[in-house]
């Protein structure tokens, strides 16, 4: 079951949520140092992680699942709080994203996979939407992490995963895992003093106890293959032919 969008917004407006978003953004930026001229999509509740891309990417948009709800984004424009400068966020069915085939270069998925009842359909939609060679980045709760054991944050809800589980799920849906890291290496403290410690100790935690981090940050690349009906070998297709949501067999 998805968390309500109002609860997610409240978390990210809290001191703990702001620090958590910053630490996860740092890992995202490490994996994607530039998205210049690219088409970037945020799926789930990804808006706290999209702002750094807005001035760099060609277009940056967000889609939130119908079961979660949606809020307008970006909310603030200029220096006047509460004014809107246009809307880049939409509500959609996770099984039918309102996007053209191969239209996105980068997709960030946060607070979505762990809640979805249609994971296979969702990942197939991600595959369909990504351009050949495009990349998706998943932020999911770590099943061994401190944060998955507390329901006081969004990362304590839904199904937590291990890195191997996510890698297998991606591979099963024609997405090749390329990189994996983690974030939030200390527990979700509530006091301001301990929240400051959370930020200060992140690098140390990454070095010594990253297996217990609160979130996994895993990147995968879209690959396109043609299946040989004789031996079922997988071969890279140089010029794939796409038709709707399905892949046509490459004809020689």
Least confident of 23-32, 76-85, 180-189, 217-226: 76-85
User: Using 50, 70 and 90 to split pLDDT, how confident is the model at 158?
Assistant: very high
Tens digit of pLDDT for each residue in 88-104? Answer: 999 999 999 999 999 99
pLDDT for residue 183 is more than 90: yes
d(CA 46, CA 178): 21
User: Using 50, 70 and 90 to split pLDDT, how confident is the model at 77?
Assistant: low
125 in a structural domain: yes
d(CA 195, CA 41): 30
- The pLDDT score that the predictor gives to residue 76 is 65
Least confident of 48-52, 77-81, 94-98: 77-81
This prediction's pTM: 0.85
> Average pLDDT of 118-126?
96
208 in a structural domain: yes
61 in a structural domain: yes
User: Using 50, 70 and 90 to split pLDDT, how confident is the model at 153?
Assistant: very high
User: Using 50, 70 and 90 to split pLDDT, how confident is the model at 190?
Assistant: confident
| 119, 43 contact by CB (below 8 A) | no
d(CA 20, CA 185): 10
Angle at 159 between CA 2 and CA 162, to 5 degrees: 145
Which CATH number characterizes residue 240's domain? Answer: 3.40.50.150
Q: Which residue has the tokens 């054991």?
A: 149
d(CA 102, CA 172): 19
Return left, alpha or beta for 82; rule: phi > 0 is left, psi -120 to 50 is alpha, else beta: left
Closest among 103, 132, 96, 121 to 241, alpha carbons compared: 132
Closest among 205, 203, 219, 242 to 31, alpha carbons compared: 219
- The pLDDT score that the predictor gives to residue 234 is 45
Domain count, the chain: 1
252 in a structural domain: no
**What is the rounded (10 degree) CA torsion for 52, 41, 150, 29?**
-40
The residue segments making up the domain with residue 155 are 5-247
Q: Compute the Cα dihedral for 148, 153, 159, 164 and give only its sign.
A: negative
68 in a structural domain: yes
Strand partners, 168: none
pLDDT for residue 31 is more than 60: yes
């Amino acid at each position: 079951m998805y968390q309500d969008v109002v609860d997610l917004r409240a978390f990210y407006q809290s001191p703990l949520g702001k620090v958590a978003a910053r630490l996860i953004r740092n890992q995202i930026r490490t994996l994607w140092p530039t998205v210049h001229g690219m088409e970037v999509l945020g799926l789930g509740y990804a808006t706290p992680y999209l702002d750094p891309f807005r001035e760099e990417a060609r277009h940056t948009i967000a889609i939130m699942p119908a079961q979660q709800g949606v809020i307008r984004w970006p909310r603030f424009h200029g220096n006047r709080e509460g004014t809107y400068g246009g809307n880049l966020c939409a509500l959609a069915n996770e099984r039918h994203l309102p996007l053209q085939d191969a239209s996105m270069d980068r997709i960030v998925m946060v607070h979505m996979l762990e809640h979805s009842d249609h994971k296979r359909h969702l990942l197939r939609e991600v595959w369909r939407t990504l351009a050949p060679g495009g990349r998706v980045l998943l932020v999911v709760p770590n099943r061994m992490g401190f944060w998955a054991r507390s329901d006081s944050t969004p990362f304590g809800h839904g199904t937590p995963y291990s890195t191997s589980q996510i890698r297998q799920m991606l591979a099963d849906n024609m997405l090749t895992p390329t990189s994996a890291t983690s974030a939030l290496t200390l527990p979700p403290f509530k006091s301001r003093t301990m929240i400051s410690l959370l930020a200060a100790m992140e690098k140390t935690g990454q070095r010594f106890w990253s297996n217990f981090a609160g979130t996994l940050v895993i990147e995968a690349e879209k690959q396109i293959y043609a299946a040989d009906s004789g031996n079922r070998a997988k071969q890279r297709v140089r010029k794939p032919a796409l038709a709707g949501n399905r892949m046509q067999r490459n004809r020689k």
